[in-house]
Amino acid sequence: MGRADRISGIFWLCFAILVTIESYRLGLGTLHKPGPGFLFFWTSIFLGIMALIVLIRAWVGRKTGEPKESIFGKQNTRKIIFVLISLFLYAIFMETVGFIPVTLLLFIFLLGMIEKKKWFFTAFVSIVVTACAYLIFETWLKSQLPKGFLEFLRF
Amino acid sequence: MDIFQNVLYGFQVALQPINLIYCFFGVLIGTLVGVLPGLGPAAAIALLLPSTFKATPVSAIIMLAGIYYGAQYGGSTTSILVNIPGEASSVVTCIDGYQMALRGRAGPALGISAFGSFIAGTFAVIALTLLGPLLAGIALQFGPPEFFALMIVGIMVLTFLSSGSMIKALMTAAVGLILGGVGMDSISGKYRFTFNIQVLLDGVGLVPTVMGLFGIAEVLENLETEIKRTILTTKIKNLFPNLKDWAESIWAIIRGTFLGFFLGIIPGGGAIVASFASYAIEKKISKHPEEFGKGAIAGVAGPESANNSAAGGSFIPLLTLGIPPNAVMAILLGALMIHGLQPGPLLMSRAPDIFWGTIVSMYIGNGMLLVLNLPLIPLWVMVLRVPYYLLYPLILLFCLVGSYSIGNNTGDVIIMLIFGIVGYLMRKFRYDAPPMVLALVLGGELEASLRQSLMMSRGDFSIFVSRPISLGFLIVAVLLLIVPIITQRKKLSTLAEEEIG
């Protein structure tokens, strides 16, 4: 865990420094009347100290020659990245394109391209799931999902 | 007499047809969630939270509560039949439950698990009925210093019981506190840590955060490895345990029930800790410890009773003190607040329908679960056969729609996805999420209690140690911090001595 701890320790230390500065800027107030930044100032200092401890432990471990380990396995990391990209694109285009088209596209992508299932199966499942999801969320639960360019259909 | 009248009122609320339906759906979904590996009650409650906005607060909480204790029932099915725990609280059930199944005794294993869960769950609800009002009465004497100290204890216990490093758990708790401060400060009216980003003006929402940390992150982690499931093909028969099974299990059920209940009340305890503790105790006191690991029925009965009892017990601090003892209760606390309720000692008087309706619905829910779990086992086996490549897109879709429907805002979806990445990275770098969630939920109240206490004492910190209850809580918190350090030092010095020797 040495390399992982070094990376995470540096990250959290930087985060703590940023929060400390911002909390100070918000105002610490007085002990009689603590300001909006009071609790977060001390919390971020505490976080910074903990991050330093994690960092120091990791560096000591490096010096004593710990075995190298990889944080992310190579297997399936690409799959995870592509799934994440598809989810972000879903979120970005959901309102402009509409719930039905983006959901259809998401399932076609996940089943057809990520899981590499047969196209007939992919198309069938995508259509069925999109239809059921629309019926459950829009018709039954009245979630007011975005219609996008299908707005003119008024259903 | 008072309690009896309150319970009757609770029945009046819980037996309304709409609440019965919500209770049924809650326990059904909970069982399903428990059966399916890769989806836990925390994620399920977070996913279904937006769908409760249209319901009344009573119905919503009844359903969400049903998911939690229902999942404890369902988790044992997959542990026994597939040797993969449906829930973390059913991990130990795999050890002896699967061995029993391999010997053709899956039926009695499933049966004793269901009956033990029912007995323990019912006991926990009865105890909740009796202890709840008592604790609420005591908590009425709490002021801001006591609440502040209690919340610190809650966070400290969760970090103490964290699976990984305690330092890392403390760090995630600190991050959770900071995240809880995002948005407008109610006292000064200043915006904190929003950086002019519109979606952050109302704060980092609890729902998208937990959906990301538990739902999305779980899916991303599961995508790394192919989960292979071999479901037992032998016929499952004799679901009712015989007299010998009962003789071997009854004391394990009783011990698990009491142990689980008390571990459920303690902040940071809960179903997972209870099930492990019960297994350890049963093995230790058994006359035949060598049978554990090879199909000892007590190794199934004890933990399964403990986790259900703990689930019931964990409602006590939530409903009476407003302190969630674990991550799932933290999400339920968020749910109560979203529905305009403030859990705590005044919940009983301000919303008796919620308090007593929820408690009584748990009696009804436990009965429904006993009926659901045994005859529907073939259905759960079918569900287990659903391949993960079909399951995870559905979970992702649920997360996306659920987070969007909170405020019809894409910003919430983006926050959820960001926390999904954060949650995944936290798992890779070995940081626990529950302390962050608890601190996020408690952060607002904790800050308010701190500021009110300091205003009361005109800036004098001794207010926290001059009041006995507050001092008691803080001593517990300090002990929880010191004990691991002392234990660690003793281990290191023993190792050093052995090396020299």
How do the pLDDT tens digits run along chain B, 501 residues long? 577 888 888 889 999 999 999 999 999 888 888 877 666 777 777 777 777 877 888 898 899 888 888 887 777 887 887 776 666 677 788 888 888 888 888 888 888 888 888 888 888 888 888 888 887 777 777 888 988 888 888 788 767 766 668 889 899 999 999 998 998 888 888 889 988 888 888 888 877 887 888 788 888 988 887 655 555 555 566 667 788 888 889 999 999 999 888 888 776 567 777 888 888 888 888 888 888 888 889 999 999 999 888 888 888 888 887 777 777 787 788 788 878 887 777 777 788 888 888 888 888 888 888 887 777 777 777 777 778 889 889 889 988 988 887 778 899 899 999 999 999 999 889 898 878 887 887 788 888 888 889 888 888 888 999 998 899 889 988 887 887 777 766 666 665 565 555
Among A82, A85, A77, which Cα is nearest to A113's? A82
Q: Which residue has the tokens 């402009």?
A: A96
B401 contacts in chain A (CB < 8 Å): 99, 133, 137, 143, 145
Q: What is the pLDDT of residues B382-431, one digit of tens each?
A: 777 778 889 889 889 988 988 887 778 899 899 999 999 999 999 889 89
Angstrom CA distances, B238 to B140, B148, B374, stand at: 51, 52, 11
Q: Do A110 and B50 touch (CB under 8 A)?
A: no
Residue of B178, B193, B223 with shortest CB distance to A76: B223
Q: Do B396 and A31 touch (CB under 8 A)?
A: no
Q: What pLDDT is attached to residue B234?
A: 53
The residue-averaged pLDDT of A124-139 equals: 90
A79 contacts in chain B (CB < 8 Å): 223
Q: Do A129 and B458 touch (CB under 8 A)?
A: no
A2 contacts in chain B (CB < 8 Å): none
Q: Domain limits of chain A?
A: 2-63, 77-150
Q: What mean pLDDT is reported for chain A?
A: 87
The residue-averaged pLDDT of A65-77 equals: 65
Among B415, B378, B12, B390, which Cα is nearest to B200's? B415
Q: What pLDDT is attached to residue B239?
A: 66
Domain count of chain B? 1
Smallest CA–CA distance, residue B365 to chain A, in Å, is 23
Q: Residue B196 carries which side chain, given as an amino acid letter?
A: N
Smallest CA–CA distance, residue A60 to chain B, in Å, is 16
B188 contacts in chain A (CB < 8 Å): 27, 35-36
Q: Which residues lie closer than 8 Å to B421 by C-beta, 6 or more apart? A: A84, B212, B216, B217, B220
Is pTM beyond 0.90 here? no
What ipTM was predicted for this assembly?
Answer: 0.91
Q: Residue B5 carries which side chain, given as an amino acid letter?
A: Q
Smallest CA–CA distance, residue A47 to chain B, in Å, is 6
B52 contacts in chain A (CB < 8 Å): none
Distance CA B155, CA B158 (A): 5
> To 5 degrees, how large is the angle CA B463–CA B469–CA B475?
85
Q: What pLDDT is attached to residue A137?
A: 80
Domain range for B360 is 2-500
Q: What pLDDT is attached to residue B242?
A: 83
Distance CA B153, CA B160 (A): 10
Q: What pLDDT is attached to residue B70?
A: 85
The residue-averaged pLDDT of A109-133 equals: 93
Q: Do A12 and B390 touch (CB under 8 A)?
A: no
- DSSP secondary structure string for all residues of B199-234: GGTT---HHHHHIIIIIIHHHHHHHHS--------S
Q: What pLDDT is attached to residue B46?
A: 72
Q: What pLDDT is attached to residue B21?
A: 93
Interface test with B, best of A5, A74, A113, A137 (most B CBs within 10 A): A137
Q: What is the pLDDT of residues A78-98, one digit of tens each?
A: 899 999 999 999 999 999 999
Q: Do A144 and B174 touch (CB under 8 A)?
A: no
Q: What pLDDT is attached to residue B211?
A: 80
Could you count the other beta carbons within 10 Å of the beta carbon of residue B256? 33
What is the SS3 assignment for B48-73? HHHHHCCCCHHHHHHHHHHHHHHHHH
Residue of B401, B410, B455 with shortest CB distance to A32: B455
Interface test with A, best of B175, B182, B429 (most A CBs within 10 A): B429
